[in-house]
């Protein structure tokens, strides 16, 4: 389970590192890791986030690597002000990670999900065309593929986009719009279809199933698993995902590209790994699945990522769970963000921070 998906060393990206990169959703779980990685290669990175789920504390590492208060902007990707920011700053690359990423929230309010994930993406893509952006790197999801056939795993990018839930549908529509902008306006893009991204939970934010299981065990609580636990997902560590995004920023647009490990892991197997890492024997509590028609199995073929981006996953599941546990334990001893991250990093921005706050989803 923990063997690397390939032992071949990826070749370096062919393009030069972009001079300016704007990351939407840069204060979120994935976004904050991406920003930290980009700061090692780019001269300037800016963050646009509405802070509905992102937190300034998530940018602590980026602050240590050179991100400043004036590089962080509060704004909603659906607004004209967000589009104007792209037009004024004229980044070389826009990494579009902002979005509604919760499947339960999408089920509760498909209207809000579509508003953010479809209209927000169209607004950013349109601004990229008008602002002369060289490349748009977009966060897609394995949910765009829907329910795969029993003999089709791992799925390649040529699999039909046949999403079966509101979140997957909105993400698939976003990919279709990007392809239209490519054909009609010449906008080059790379849409990264992430597997199930996991890692240390963001500060005061949502958490992956890996983090939820490990946090429950650390708290001495009995974790809850929906259904029989034999449903599978392709779990990929957030550090690997951030590295893939950086690679995409340095390479020509490649269309849809899967970012995962190519391996299925059941929730039961994931729980067994978490128990082993923590050295506990507690059995999980199984409850009926609230959505029994949910996608049963998933794994993504990452051959295209290797060919076009020179990327493959490097962190095995056991190692990734261990890293998640270590970070969770570290945070239990107290977490203090650096001064730069708390001294007006949002409120004290330059005039480009006139973007409106995002509307919140209905209850």
Give the pLDDT confidence score for residue 68 in this predicted structure.
95
Give the pLDDT confidence score for residue 345 in this predicted structure.
34
Query: Catalytic residue at 181?
Result: no
Please check the confidence at residue 342 and state whether its pLDDT lies above 80.
Answer: no
Please check the confidence at residue 58 and state whether its pLDDT lies above 70.
Answer: yes
Does a structural domain hold residue 292?
no
pLDDT band at 290 (very low <50, low <70, confident <90, very high): confident
Does a structural domain hold residue 272?
no
Does a structural domain hold residue 14?
no
The catalytic residue among 167, 177, 198, 271 is 167
Enclosing domain of residue 144: 20-198+237-260+303-314+337-353
Please check the confidence at residue 205 and state whether its pLDDT lies above 90.
Answer: no
Does a structural domain hold residue 285?
no
Strands (E), the chain: 20-24, 44-49, 72-74, 93-96, 135-141, 189-194, 196-198, 224-226, 232-233, 235-237, 255-259, 265-266, 285-287
Please check the confidence at residue 357 and state whether its pLDDT lies above 80.
Answer: no
The string of pLDDT tens digits covering residues 154-183 is 999 999 999 999 999 999 999 999 999 999
Strands (E), 185-340: 189-194, 196-198, 224-226, 232-233, 235-237, 255-259, 265-266, 285-287
Q: Give the range among 76-90, 114-128, 225-239, 335-349 with minimum mean pLDDT.
A: 335-349
The string of pLDDT tens digits covering residues 84-100 is 999 999 999 999 999 99
Please name the residues in contact with 363: beta carbons below 8 A apart, sequence gap of 6 or more: none
Does a structural domain hold residue 92?
yes
Strand 189-194 versus strand 235-237 pairing type = unpaired
Residues in a beta bridge with 223: none
Please check the confidence at residue 339 and state whether its pLDDT lies above 70.
Answer: no
Does a structural domain hold residue 32?
yes
Does a structural domain hold residue 10?
no
Please check the confidence at residue 261 and state whether its pLDDT lies above 50.
Answer: yes
Strand 235-237 versus strand 196-198 pairing type = parallel
> CB of 120 within 8 A of CB of 161?
no
Give the pLDDT confidence score for residue 204 in this predicted structure.
56
Please check the confidence at residue 27 and state whether its pLDDT lies above 70.
Answer: yes
Does a structural domain hold residue 159?
yes
Instruction: Check which CATH number belongs to the domain holding 84 and give it.
Output: 3.40.50.720
Write out the two tokens for 78: 């659906």
Residue position matching structure tokens 């919760």: 102
In this prediction, residues 94-113 reach a mean pLDDT of 95
Please check the confidence at residue 135 and state whether its pLDDT lies above 80.
Answer: yes
The total of other beta-carbon atoms located within 10 Å of residue 171's CB is 30
Give the pLDDT confidence score for residue 361 in this predicted structure.
34
In this prediction, residues 317-327 reach a mean pLDDT of 93
Give the pLDDT confidence score for residue 215 in this predicted structure.
86
How many folded domains does the chain comprise? 1
Give the pLDDT confidence score for residue 203 in this predicted structure.
62
């Amino acid at each position: 389970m923990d063997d690397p998906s390939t032992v071949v060393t990826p070749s370096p990206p062919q393009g030069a590192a972009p001079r300016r990169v704007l990351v939407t959703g840069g204060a979120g779980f994935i976004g904050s890791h991406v920003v930290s990685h980009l700061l090692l290669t780019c001269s300037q990175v800016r963050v646009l986030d509405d802070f509905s789920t992102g937190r300034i504390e998530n940018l602590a590492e980026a602050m240590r690597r050179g991100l400043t208060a004036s590089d962080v902007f509060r704004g909603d990707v659906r607004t004209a002000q967000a589009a104007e920011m792209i037009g004024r700053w004229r980044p070389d690359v826009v990494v579009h990670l902002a979005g509604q990423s919760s499947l339960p929230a999408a089920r509760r309010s498909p209207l809000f999900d579509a508003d953010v994930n479809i209209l927000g993406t169209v607004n950013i893509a349109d601004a990229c065309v008008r602002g002369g952006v060289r490349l748009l790197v977009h966060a897609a999801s394995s949910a765009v593929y829907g329910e795969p056939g029993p003999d089709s795993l791992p799925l390649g990018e040529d699999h039909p986009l046949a999403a079966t839930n509101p979140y997957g549908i909105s993400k698939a529509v976003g990919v279709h719009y990007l392809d239209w902008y490519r054909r009609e306006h010449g906008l080059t893009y790379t849409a990264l279809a992430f597997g199930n991204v996991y890692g240390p939970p963001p500060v005061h934010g949502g958490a992956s199933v890996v983090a939820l299981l490990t946090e429950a065990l650390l708290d001495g609580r009995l974790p809850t698993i929906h259904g029989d636990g034999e449903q599978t997902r392709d779990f990929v560590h957030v550090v690997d995902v951030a590295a893939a995004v950086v690679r995409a920023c340095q390479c020509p647009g490649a269309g849809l590209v899967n970012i995962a490990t190519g391996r299925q892991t059941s929730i039961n197997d994931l729980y067994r790994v978490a128990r082993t890492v923590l050295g506990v024997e507690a059995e999980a509590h199984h409850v009926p699945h609230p959505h029994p028609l949910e996608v049963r199995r998933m794994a993504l073929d990452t051959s295209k990522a290797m060919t076009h981006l020179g990327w493959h996953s490097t962190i095995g599941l056991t190692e990734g769970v261990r890293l998640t546990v270590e970070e969770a334990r570290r945070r239990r001893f107290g977490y203090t963000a650096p001064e730069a991250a708390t001294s007006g990093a949002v409120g004290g921005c330059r005039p480009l921070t006139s973007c409106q706050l995002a509307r919140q989803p209905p209850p």
